[in-house]
Amino acid sequence: MPLRGWVSRMLTNQSGPGYWTNPDSCYQPKYSATVWHLQLLAMLGADGSDPRIRNSCERFLRMHSMPDGGFTCSPPQFPRKQSEECLVGRMLAVLLQFGYPYHDKRIERAVDWLLGRQLSDGGWNCRWASHPKHSSIYSTHMALWGFSKIPQNRRGPELRSAIARGVEFMLVHRLFKSHRSGQIIDEHWLRLHFPPINYDILNGLRLMTDLGVKSEDTLGDAVDLVQSKTGPEGLWLTEHVPSGYREKTGQPSIKFESLGRPSKWITLQSLVVLSRMGRIRIRS
């Protein structure tokens, strides 16, 4: 049966063999190049064995893998490349979702690299060059998302400990608040967005519940906010559409839903989270 819907449209709209938008970088322009298409395709449950997807993944691995085992955002010709925590976590999740085996050496090396970058407070921070002392919610979310796709039976003691410490970092911050003042870290995180290619409280809640965390004591603030956004017909609206650099490049971001309109994706994820947290009951 031929594919239909968003997955079909994205695959049909590939710019060339194995890439979208830019043949020289899988990462730039942000939110419209290959990495961002692959992330959305993975989240939508696309079949990783499709040759167009597999070719794109292999293209990414050829162009953006680093000798240290991580992945770099920089194009191959850039002279000062370095691996980056958010990208490594993001693409671990994508590749594993698409069926890459954990014993693939490229996956194993990326996992080891990410484990080695965990900070003492339990999280991660992609601003490694500035020698950060405190982790980032965004970077930690991406690292945990990558680790969450590793099968339970392949998680050794070191990995299980890293996940537990990362989860604790997220919970101390209640997914969106300063652990010192209790103030909201970034108001943008309260806006539910589609495509889900960066961080908001709904993405944080979905990941925490994927990892088995369902504590009202630590997640209740974020759950309250998501539940408060339910529309009159039981639907959630798109509150933000990531725009990336399209104004500078002329390249469109990935857009399937309109700002201010009911969102299929956000509604589904909200219902999943609220059901897991025991706030609603979904009839089968």
Q: Which residue has the higher pLDDT, 253 or 116?
A: 116
* Residue 77 in this model has a pLDDT that exceeds 90: no
Q: Specify burial of residue 116 (Cβ count, 10 A radius: 0-12, 13-18, 19+).
A: exposed
Residue 16's SS3 state is strand
**E-strand stretches of 12-155:** none
Confidence (pTM): 0.94
Return the higher-pLDDT residue of 188 and 128: 188
Residue-averaged pLDDT of the chain: 92
Nearest by Cα to 187 from 249, 108, 240: 240
- Checking if the pLDDT of 247 tops 50, the result is no
Written as six digits, the tokens of 283 are 């009839």
- Spell out where the chain has E strands: none
pLDDT digits (tens, 9 = 90+) for 83-124: 999 999 999 999 999 999 999 999 999 999 999 999 999 999
What pLDDT does residue 66 have?
Answer: 97
**Gap between the Cα atoms of 224 and 235, Å rounded:** 16
Spatial separation of the C-alpha atoms in residues 7 and 48, rounded to whole Å: 12
The answer to whether residue 74 scores a pLDDT higher than 50 is yes
Taking residues 147-154, what's their average pLDDT?
Answer: 95
